[in-house]
Structure 1
């Protein structure tokens, strides 16, 4: 069975803090929608897309290499591109930040071609409570590693959620690797 591929030391603490500092002065979008679904209870977070932020190129280069190695070693999917900008999600306890159970394959033309989801843990695990990334590759729910700088990679069709943040703020970055739609 396919599961979570974790890379605990993918980014250093200082690199994670550098990403958070870079996005801190960027405008955010409040994520109340997923695709065109207007279910306001599904997700509550602020989002920053990083493609157009100066000084973030090194992050994407590292993420591409991590996906390449994980796909080679564990998944073996037909991957062709990264069609979407990496997204930093900011889940605040003051807003009950969360993302209910979902998969990353949706009805849109780009999301149908998502093959692998990569989540980079940007926050230190001691800076917030709750906010666990939970992944359900089968009947069992697995909790992703909360270590700052850890990358979790899993098939995009896998159900997952971010439980409500109870105190503090959780920062994470997500990017998707794309290929021909699953059959």
Structure 2
């Protein structure tokens, strides 16, 4: 069964801290905090798209290689592109940051072609409470590795959530590998 694939130590602690520092200097995307998501309490997070942050090209190069290896070794999906910029989500305890159960396949011109979801754990596991990435590939709920620098890879059609952050701030980066729509 296709489920959760972990890539421990994909990024070093200092690389994760560098990404957080660069992201902290960038404006967050407030637009996604308003409207449908906020009204339905689906997601409370601030977002930064890394294409808008100078000096982040090396991150995407690393993510592409990790997708390539993970797909070859585990999933064998028909992948052809990365049609969206990596997104850093900032989940704060001050507003119970979270993202309720959802899949990454849905409406929109790119989401229907998402095949693999990668989530890079940027925060140290001891810097926040709550905020677990949970994946439900079937009847069982799996909790992703919280180790800083670990990447979790799973099919984009898999239900997943980020539980509310109780204290601290959780930083994570998500990118999607795209291909022809599933049949």
Q: Same fold (TM over 0.5)?
A: yes
CA-to-aligned-CA distance 1:135-179 (integer Å, 9 cap, x gap): 000000000000000000000000000000000000000000000
Counterpart for residue 33 of structure 2:
32
Counterpart for residue 149 of structure 1:
149
CA-to-aligned-CA distance 1:56-87 (integer Å, 9 cap, x gap): 00000000000000000000000000000100
Counterpart for residue 2 of structure 2:
2
Aligned length: 182
Counterpart for residue 139 of structure 2:
139
Range that drifts further, 48-57 or 146-155 = 48-57
Q: Tell me, what secondary structure is at the counterpart of 2:17?
A: helix
5+ unaligned residues in a row in structure 1: which ranges?
none
Q: Is the 8 A contact 1:116 1:154 kept in 2?
A: yes
Q: For 2:109 and 2:39, locate their aligned partners in 1 and report how far apart those are by CA, in whole Å.
A: 20
Q: Tell me, what secondary structure is at the counterpart of 1:180?
A: coil
Q: For 1:121 and 1:163, locate their aligned partners in 2 and report how far apart those are by CA, in whole Å.
A: 14
Cα separation, partners in 2 of 1:8 and 1:64, compared to 1, 3 Å = same
5+ unaligned residues in a row in structure 2: which ranges?
none
Q: Is the 8 A contact 1:49 1:86 kept in 2?
A: yes
Cα separation, partners in 2 of 1:33 and 1:177, compared to 1, 3 Å = farther
Q: For 1:24 and 1:37, locate their aligned partners in 2 and report how far apart those are by CA, in whole Å.
A: 23
Q: For 2:34 and 2:52, locate their aligned partners in 1 and report how far apart those are by CA, in whole Å.
A: 22
More helix by share: 2
CA-to-aligned-CA distance 1:113-140 (integer Å, 9 cap, x gap): 0000000000000000000000000000
Q: Tell me, what secondary structure is at the counterpart of 1:51?
A: helix
Q: TM-score, normalised by structure 1?
A: 0.96
Moved over 2 A (4+): 30-34, 36-40
Deviation at 1:40, TM superposition (A): 3.5
Counterpart for residue 47 of structure 2:
47
Q: For 1:109 and 1:48, locate their aligned partners in 2 and report how far apart those are by CA, in whole Å.
A: 20
Deviation at 1:37, TM superposition (A): 5.8
